[in-house]
Amino acid sequence: MPEGTIKKKTDKGFGFIETRSGTDLFFHSSNCDGVSFDQLYEGQKVSFTEGRGPKGPRAENVKPM
């Protein structure tokens, strides 16, 4: 599974993960797996799978490490 760091979280239920390659990947609160969106924090290491949403690439199955 790819790994990254939560770069930014919003109070609107979405955020961005900085991947190891340095790109930012969108994630939505509905894509969290085994943890609630509110339990995640900026700077936290996470694993995820890459998927596609209606507006492009996104992180799915986001889990804390």
Question: Quick check: 8 pLDDT over 90?
Answer: yes
Total domains in the fold of the chain = 1
- What pLDDT, in 10s, does the model give residues 25-43? 999 999 999 999 999 999 9
Question: Quick check: 57 pLDDT over 90?
Answer: yes
**Residues of the domain holding 26:** 3-64
CATH classification at residue 27: 2.40.50.140
Share of the chain above pLDDT 70, in %: 100
Contacts of residue 60, defined as CB under 8 A and 6 or more positions apart, other chains included, come to: 27, 31, 48, 49, 50, 51
Model confidence, pTM: 0.92
**DSSP tally for the chain: helices H, then strands E:** 0, 5
The pLDDT of residue 1:
85
- Looking at every residue in the chain, the average pLDDT score rounds to 96
